Chains A and B, each alone.
Chain A
């Protein structure tokens, strides 16, 4: 009996020892003088062909590998990149002067022919090439004309106010390399002119980029940038705390304190281009009367929403254009919080006893989306609108909105890659557009006029007119722009951007 028990105990002790030894072995392996920064994202990139994806996690990797003709700086202003200058020739023609002597990482030269090839691909003018996922952005392009080796003109069918913004989003891919197999290899083995090259990519694990020492803008200061997918929020934060990762995006407001409490970590904030809006379906009878829609705006206590639901992580927006947007109205006008007035307006509109409504929202897609809707429902209840929150998984939400089938109210935080409010209202307000449940002729007219001019002055004047009419006759309950929150290890000197790009070129390691 005695012997048997001893054996069992001995085995257990041995097992524990084995486990401990293994874990000690792990601690000793990190000794590398190369600087390395690890970024954790919720999901991993899908494809590294810049024209064959439409998501941020892929874009964050892609922007390190490729360059565009022009780029947005940290203030979202457009600056030269592969093109040293550009000029608006007329309402449908822009001319770019290219830099000399730039090469792709496989040695192919960058010149006007490359630019032509790239824009023809996305505009659907390249014979034999598959339609790209960003094709809709470039469908206004009629022709790309090579003037000489260093000069190229993009000619559009009609004035396209967002052309420069789209050009800034078009990363240049090499010609010979992609011609061989019709862009197939590009998706997993990218070749660009950018500051980094892909070293390795283990699906589900690390994607490693290494710095290009001879990058034409100067060698990057960080030798290796690693992207890792970590789906769980709490795991991402834990990894940040132990130094396993250096940058995490989409930190939740509830976790700010937890991260700030760590000596070696800091929390970074940046105003986001994502504007939360309470869509109102004016195709439903109850919502037709402008007084009902104004009543809803007077019922919303936006400062309280920002303070209590968003925990300060949002900025109030008078309509749908925050300050960084083209079309922003300097005379910001806000609906006052006035439940009495809201009740009166409802009564005048024929609803003295209030009404029933449903708020559709995706669950967990936007910062505190469901909580915000519940708070909004509470505010509406005070003026007699009995609102029910219908929170659904994003796939269901997307399907329902695309089928144009939404209840009285819908909560969505709209992204805007162009920092131009035209992009938002042409899809969410212009009557007949995919996500518009609203019709106002004056608004339509101004949106259309804004789309016909490439002159920035005129363009924004029409947008302001549209926004003012949208304020008077609201298609939305006006809310706030979100604030993006990042958790960063203090050893990395890096600044987040309003466009959600995580760009490490220019970042460095603090000594």
Chain B
């Protein structure tokens, strides 16, 4: 196991360095940040001052080396727009986004797994059709539309929930963003649960378990669901990265002060240091998540071993 872990860590580092290079280059291909930071009619000399101050006058490879050297120490430079350490801006926003993602995963799984299980064991019944129609909608509704509709109906018409902002972190402020963000995930989880359950249900050992006279609950939960979990967990791991992407739109709609909104703003303002810090922090997060998922596999299914020799 430890050999495997070392290999995974080395791979992860290479991935992160690769990402840093791509991000650095792409963000600099898109234009001149100074022109966006100042008024339209700011004289050239003032622009030069700013450009120099931000180190944008140096050659690209040198800019990258400076960036990399700092990045190792967690220093991504000073935000062009805010004049604050970029990493601090990102770290300030991480808790809000993590909350959103955890809350989203929680409700998505909370509904998806029961729907998936019922659809599988009552295959082709009314419940199955209902469940699958529901998930079909969840997968096809664009999140920005769902978000705006919820704002109009739940927020404005019925005034049940606050419309935007963080509100000091109370749960009410997170419900609409989480539902918006999670509709797609919930649907995906429910479908994968259903198909995975169906596959396992047809296995001989499920027959055996039933033949032994075990109660249906034990058969479903212990013998079927547990074996069906591997694909669900895999999808969940992949979706954490997708959720980060989805959070960009959702946070923007609900003015939810997370990393996604900061990302949009920074891209729009060409705030390179912040863009880089966000992408680095998020990609490290995704790499870590996948790492954790791999370990969770071994817990759920003890047959999975990562050692080569044994």
Contact = CB atoms under 8 A, between A and B. Distances in A.
Interface of A: 1, 3-5, 8, 11-12, 15, 19, 22-23, 25-26, 43, 46-47, 52, 54-55, 130-131, 133, 135-136, 187-188, 202-206, 228-232, 234-235, 238-239, 241-242, 244, 394-396, 398-399, 401-402, 412, 415, 427, 434-435
B151 to A, nearest CB: 5
Contacts of B156: 238, 241-242
B193 to A, nearest CB: 13
Contacts of B262: 204
A398 B163 contact: no
Contact of B170 (A26, A46, A399): A26
B127 to A, nearest CB: 9
Given A26-B161, A238-B151, A238-B155, A202 B257 contact: yes
A235 B38 CA distance: 27
Interface stretch (B41-49, B60-68, B69-77): B41-49
A401 B163 CA distance: 39
A389 to B, nearest CB: 20
Nearest to A243: B159
Contacts of B43: 136, 434
A227 B83 CA distance: 20
25 contacts: A1-B216, A11-B110, A26-B162, A26-B167, A26-B172, A46-B81, A46-B82, A54-B39, A133-B50, A136-B45, A188-B84, A204-B166, A204-B261, A205-B166, A205-B257, A232-B253, A232-B255, A238-B155, A242-B163, A395-B30, A395-B35, A396-B31, A415-B40, A427-B41, A434-B41
B92 interface: yes
Given A3-B217, A399-B32, A235 B254 contact: yes
Contacts of B252: 231-232
Nearest to B175: A19
Given A25-B172, A187-B83, A204-B96, 15 more contacts: A4-B216, A11-B114, A15-B110, A55-B39, A136-B46, A205-B257, A228-B255, A231-B264, A235-B255, A239-B164, A395-B30, A395-B32, A395-B35, A395-B270, A398-B35
B6 to A, nearest CB: 39
A243 to B, nearest CB: 9
Nearest to B46: A136
A188 B42 CA distance: 24
B137 interface: no
B39 A205 contact: no
Contacts of A402: 32, 35
Given A11-B114, A235-B255, A238-B163, A23 B175 contact: yes
A133 B175 contact: no
Interface string B261-283: 11011001010000000000000
B23 interface: no
A297 B255 CA distance: 43
Contacts of A228: 165, 255
A411 to B, nearest CB: 13
B160 interface: yes
B155 A204 contact: no
Contacts of B148: 234-235
B82 A47 contact: yes
Nearest to B174: A22
Given A187-B83, A238-B152, A54 B160 contact: no
Contacts of A232: 252-253, 255
Interface of B: 30-32, 35-46, 49-50, 53, 81-84, 89, 92-93, 96, 107, 110-111, 114, 118, 148, 151-152, 155-156, 159-167, 170-173, 175, 216-217, 220, 252-255, 257-258, 261-262, 264-265, 268, 270
A54 B44 CA distance: 15
A136 B40 CA distance: 13
Contacts of B152: 238
Given A54-B38, A204-B262, A235-B163, A230 B155 contact: no
A8 B118 contact: yes
Contacts of B107: 15
Contacts of A398: 32, 35-36, 40
> Which of A3, A15, A23, A135 has the most chain B CB atoms inside 10 A of its CB?
A23
B37 to A, nearest CB: 8
Nearest to A1: B216
A491 to B, nearest CB: 17
A421 B191 CA distance: 64
B50 A229 contact: no
B42 A54 contact: yes
Contacts of A4: 216-217, 220
A241 B164 CA distance: 13
A23 B36 contact: no
B142 to A, nearest CB: 14
A8 B217 contact: no
A229 B39 contact: no
A381 to B, nearest CB: 29
A203 B89 contact: yes
Nearest to B252: A231
Contacts of B159: 242
A458 B247 CA distance: 58
A246 to B, nearest CB: 14
A133 to B, nearest CB: 7
B234 to A, nearest CB: 24
A232 B255 CA distance: 8
A231 B220 CA distance: 47
A71 B103 CA distance: 50
A178 to B, nearest CB: 15
B164 A46 contact: no
> Which of A5, A239, A394 has the most chain B CB atoms inside 10 A of its CB?
A239
A22 B175 CA distance: 9
Nearest to B170: A26
A203 B261 CA distance: 11
A326 B172 CA distance: 52
Contact of B255 (A8, A12, A230, A242): A230
